[in-house]
C-alpha cells in the first residue's frame, strides 16, 4: 500500500521555471530580495554604460557588455532557482486541486433528522455549523466533525494511503477532511470550515507557496546580507579616491563588477529557494506546515514529547504468556482464559484466545446458553457465565481479588510482581472463587525505536515518553525503548505543565497529539504536530499536520527542520568564503598597474586585469546555477553534535568555498584567453 501522495505532474516544470525567471525581473518582485535587486541595478547600469561606449566607439565596450551579460545571468539564475522551487510546489498543488469538486449534498436541520427528508444544496454553499448526511460512495464536501454514525473513509486523495480508515462520532477520530470519500456506511457531519478555507484549500495555498512567509531566521539572514551589501558598497565607493591618489582611474563598470562579486550573491540568490524546498520536503513526508517558522523550530528542538501508545509501542497489549497457579494445569487455565475471552472483541481479548489456541491446539466453542459478561470501568472484569453454573472471569488484580475474596498464592503473586516490573499488565483468571492463574499482557515496543532515540540523543535532543501507565510499568517500557525520561499517569494538565517547565529552562519543545485534550499542549509547544485523523481542535492548535496520522513522524519533522537549517548555514558559509577568493582575483587586477607590489596577491596568475574581472563575474554566475540542485535537495544531514556539525560545515563548505573559486576562476581565465575574449 502506498503511503505517499499521488505523484505530481512535473512535466513542463523547467520551461515554466525559465519563463518565470524573466517575469521575476520585474523590479517590484526583485525588491523582495535586496541582494538580487542591487545586482540587477548594477547590471542595468553596466548595460547602459556598455551600450553608450559601443555607440561612441570607446575601447572596452565589449568588456562592459560581456560583464553586463553575466550580471544579468546571475539575477536570472537566482530567479530560476526560486521559480523551480515554486513550480514544484504548484505542481503538487494542482494535483491536490484536482481532488476538489462541487457536489450536491444533503443538509439536515439537526443531526437526528431523517436523511430522506434532507434538503439538497451545493457543497460551495455550506457554512460552519450546518449538518450534512454523507453515505457510501459520496465525497465529504468539506472539513467537519462526525456527530453521528461510523464509516470507512478513503483518504487517498489527501494522504496517498489506499487503505480506508475508520471515522466515527465522538472520540479522537471524529475529524473528517473535504475531498475524501466514504466507502462504507454513513456519517452525519457538522461543518467546521468556511468556504474556501478548508484544510484542502489551506494545504493547496501552503504547498504552492502562496502563503509562505519569511521565517525569523530568513529575515535575520536577509538583514545580515543587506548589512554586508552596504559595507561593500562603502568599500567600492571609496576605491576611486585611492585610485585617483595613485594617478589611475577605475572604470565604473569595473567597480560595478567588483561590487557584485564581493557581496554574497550566492546565498542571496538561493535563500528563498532553500526555504521553499524545505517546505516541499515536508510535503513529500506527508506533513503540512502551517508556517515555515514551525519547520525551523523543529530543527532547533531540544525536547521531544512522545506518547507511548501508538508511538513507542504498537498500542495493543498482547497476551505473551499464561502462568497457572500452583496445582492448576496449564491447559485448564488456557481453556478458562479462552472461554472468558470468547465474547471479548478487544485486541487484548483476541490475543488471549489466540494464545490459548497455541496451548490447546484449538479454540473452545461458545457453550450453548452461555451469557457474556461485558467489561465495565466499575467492575474492571469480563467473562462468561455458563449454563451449568460455571462463572469464568478475567480482569485486574484487585478486581478479581475483590470478586473471589481470595488472594493469589505467594508463587503467583511473585509472578504478578515480575510482570508489572517488566512493563507488562497482569490479568488474573478465576472460576467462581478460585484463582486459576495470570495472563501476561505485554505492550510491544516497535522495532528500531531504540535506534531512532539513539540518533536523537546524538543530535542533542532529549526524549520524554508520556503515558497513562503507572510509574513502574512506565519505567520498564522507557528502559526498553531507550527514552531519556518519562511522565507516568499523565493528564492534559501534566503535559501542559511539563512543556512550560521545559520552555522556562530555555528549551524548545515538540510534541504530537490527536485529541481535543491535547489541544492546549499542542498550542503551547514550539512545534505541535497534529494527526490528520484527530479532532478539529487538535488540528487548529497545532502548527504541523501529519496526513498519515503517524506519531513517529515527529522524528522525521525534526530531521527535515535540521536539514533546512544546515543547508542554509552551509550555503551561507560557502558564499562568504567564495567572496574572499574573488577578492584576490579582482583587487590585484584593478591596482596592479598603480601598485606593482600588489602583483604578489595575484596568486592565481591571471592573464590580465580584464580577464581577471571577466573570469570572476562569470564564475559568480555559474556557481549560483551549479548550487541550485543542492539548494533544492538540501545538504545531507547525519545525526551528530553541534560541534561536529560545525566542523563539517567549516571543512566542506568553508574550506571548499575558498578553494573552488580559485580553481574555477583560473579555469575560466584560461578559457577566455584561449578564445581571445579577454
In contact, 310 and 347? CB cutoff 8 Å = no
CB of 372 closer than 8 Å to CB of 364: no
Please tell me whether residue 568 adopts helix, strand or coil conformation: helix
Closest CA to 292 of 264, 272, 270: 272
14-30 core/surface letters (b: 16 or more CB in 10 A; e: else): eebbeebbeebbeeeeb
Cell numbers at residue 21, please?
525567471
At residue 485, what are phi and psi to the nearest 5 degrees? -160, 170
State the catalytic residue, choosing from 172, 280, 307, 344. Answer: 307
10 Å CB burial of residue 54 (0-12, 13-18, 19+) is middle
SS3 content of the chain, % helix, strand, coil (to 5): 55, 20, 30
In the sheet that holds 485-487, the strands lie side by side as 287-289, 544-546, 527-531, 509-513, 303-307, 462-466, 485-487
The x, y and z cell numbers of residue 503, run together, are 520552555
| Rounded distance between C-alpha atoms, residue 205 and residue 194, angstroms | 15
Phi, psi of 222 (to 5 degrees): -60, -40
- Evaluate whether 287 touches 265 at the Cβ level (below 8 Å): no
Q: Catalytic residue at 546?
A: no
Helices (H), 263-378: 265-284, 292-299, 330-341, 347-360
What is the 8-class DSSP label of residue 57? T
- How many Cβ atoms from other residues are within 10 Å of residue 652's Cβ? 14
d(CA 85, CA 280): 8
Q: Distance between CA 637 and CA 626 in Å, rounded?
A: 20
The angle subtended at Cα 322 by Cα 317 and Cα 328, nearest 5°, is 155
- Please say whether the beta carbons of 190 and 130 come within 8 A: yes
Specify whether the CB–CB gap between 225 and 266 falls below 8 A. no
Residue 427 exposed, middle or buried by CB count within 10 Å (0-12, 13-18, 19+): buried
Collapse the DSSP code of 249 into the 3-class scheme (helix H, G, I; strand E, B; otherwise coil) and give the result: coil
Angle, vertex CA 650, rays to CA 644 and CA 651, nearest 5:
85
Phi, psi of 575 (to 5 degrees): -65, -45
What grid cell was written down for 545? Answer: 499536520
Neighbours of 131 (CB within 10 A): 21
Catalytic residues: 307
Amino acid at each position: 500500500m502506498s503511503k505517499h501522495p499521488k505523484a505530481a505532474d512535473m512535466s513542463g516544470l523547467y520551461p515554466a521555471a525559465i519563463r518565470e525567471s524573466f517575469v521575476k525581473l520585474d523590479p517590484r518582485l526583485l525588491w523582495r530580495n535586496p541582494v538580487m535587486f542591487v545586482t540587477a541595478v548594477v547590471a542595468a547600469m553596466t548595460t547602459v554604460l556598455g551600450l553608450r561606449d559601443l555607440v561612441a566607439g570607446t575601447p572596452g565596450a565589449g568588456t562592459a557588455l560581456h560583464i553586463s551579460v553575466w550580471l544579468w545571468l546571475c539575477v536570472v539564475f537566482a530567479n530560476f532557482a526560486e521559480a523551480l522551487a515554486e513550480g514544484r510546489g504548484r505542481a503538487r498543488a494542482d494535483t491536490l486541486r484536482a481532488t476538489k469538486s462541487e457536489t450536491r449534498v444533503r443538509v439536515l436541520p439537526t443531526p437526528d433528522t431523517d436523511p430522506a427528508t434532507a434538503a439538497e444544496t451545493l457543497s460551495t454553499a455550506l457554512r460552519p455549523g450546518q449538518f450534512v448526511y454523507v453515505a457510501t460512495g459520496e465525497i465529504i464536501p468539506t472539513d467537519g466533525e462526525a456527530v453521528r454514525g461510523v464509516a470507512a473513509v478513503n483518504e487517498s486523495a489527501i494522504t496517498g494511503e489506499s487503505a480506508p480508515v475508520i471515522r466515527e462520532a465522538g472520540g479522537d477520530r471524529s475529524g473528517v477532511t473535504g475531498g475524501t470519500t466514504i466507502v462504507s456506511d454513513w456519517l452525519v457531519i457538522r461543518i467546521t470550515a468556511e468556504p474556501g478555507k478548508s484544510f484542502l484549500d489551506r494545504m493547496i495555498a501552503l504547498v504552492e507557496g502562496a502563503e509562505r512567509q519569511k521565517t525569523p531566521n530568513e529575515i535575520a539572514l536577509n538583514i545580515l546580507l543587506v548589512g554586508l551589501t552596504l559595507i561593500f558598497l562603502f568599500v567600492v565607493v571609496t576605491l576611486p579616491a585611492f585610485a585617483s591618489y595613485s594617478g589611475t582611474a577605475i572604470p565604473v563598470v569595473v567597480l560595478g563588477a567588483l561590487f557584485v562579486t564581493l557581496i554574497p550573491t550566492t546565498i542571496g540568490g538561493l535563500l528563498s529557494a532553500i526555504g521553499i524546498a524545505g517546505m516541499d520536503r515536508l510535503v513529500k513526508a506527508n506533513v503540512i506546515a502551517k508556517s515555515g517558522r514551525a519547520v525551523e523550530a523543529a530543527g532547533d528542538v531540544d525536547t521531544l514529547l512522545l506518547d507511548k501508545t501508538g508511538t513507542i509501542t504498537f498500542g495493543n497489549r498482547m497476551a505473551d504468556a499464561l502462568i497457572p497457579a500452583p496445582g492448576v494445569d496449564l491447559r485448564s487455565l488456557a481453556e478458562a482464559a479462552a472461554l472468558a475471552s470468547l465474547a471479548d472483541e478487544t485486541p487484548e481479548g483476541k490475543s488471549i484466545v489466540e494464545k490459548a489456541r497455541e496451548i490447546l491446539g484449538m479454540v473452545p466453542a461458545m457453550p450453548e446458553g452461555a451469557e457474556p459478561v461485558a467489561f465495565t470501568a466499575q467492575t474492571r472484569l469480563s467473562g462468561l457465565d455458563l449454563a451449568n453454573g460455571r462463572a469464568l472471569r478475567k480482569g485486574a488484580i484487585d478486581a478479581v481479588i475483590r470478586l473471589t475474596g481470595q488472594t493469589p498464592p505467594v508463587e503467583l503473586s511473585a509472578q504478578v510482581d515480575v510482570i508489572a516490573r517488566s512493563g507488562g499488565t497482569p490479568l488474573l483468571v478465576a472460576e467462581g472463587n478460585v484463582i486459576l492463574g495470570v495472563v501476561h499482557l505485554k505492550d510491544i515496543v516497535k522495532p528500531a525505536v531504540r535506534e531512532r532515540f539513539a540518533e536523537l540523543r546524538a543530535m542533542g535532543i532529549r526524549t520524554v515518553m508520556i503515558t497513562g501507565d503507572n510509574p513502574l510499568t512506565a519505567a520498564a517500557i522507557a528502559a526498553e525503548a531507550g527514552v531519556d525520561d518519562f511522565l507516568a499517569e499523565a493528564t492534559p494538565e501534566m503535559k501542559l505543565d511539563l512543556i512550560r517547565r521545559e520552555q522556562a529552562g530555555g528549551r524548545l519543545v515538540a510534541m504530537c497529539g490527536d485529541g481535543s485534550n491535547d489541544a492546549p499542549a499542542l498550542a503551547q509547544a514550539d512545534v505541535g504536530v497534529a494527526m490528520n485523523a484527530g479532532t478539529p481542535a487538535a488540528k487548529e492548535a497545532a502548527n504541523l499536520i501529519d496526513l498519515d496520522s503517524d506519531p513517529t513522524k515527529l522524528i522525521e519533522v525534526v530531521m527535515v527542520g535540521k536539514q533546512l537549517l544546515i543547508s542554509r548555514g552551509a550555503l551561507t558559509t560557502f558564499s562568504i568564503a567564495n567572496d574572499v577568493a574573488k577578492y584576490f582575483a579582482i583587487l590585484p587586477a584593478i591596482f596592479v598597474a598603480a601598485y606593482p607590489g600588489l602583483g604578489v596577491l595575484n596568486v592565481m596568475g591571471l592573464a590580465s586585469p580584464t580577464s581577471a574581472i571577466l573570469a570572476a563575474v562569470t564564475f559568480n554566475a555559474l556557481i549560483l546555477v551549479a548550487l541550485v540542485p543542492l539548494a533544492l535537495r538540501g545538504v545531507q544531514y547525519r545525526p551528530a553534535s553541534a560541534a561536529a556539525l560545525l566542523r563539517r560545515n567549516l571543512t566542506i563548505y568553508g574550506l571548499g568555498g575558498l578553494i573552488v573559486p580559485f580553481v574555477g576562476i583560473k579555469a575560466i581565465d584560461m578559457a577566455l584567453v584561449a578564445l581571445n575574449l579577454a
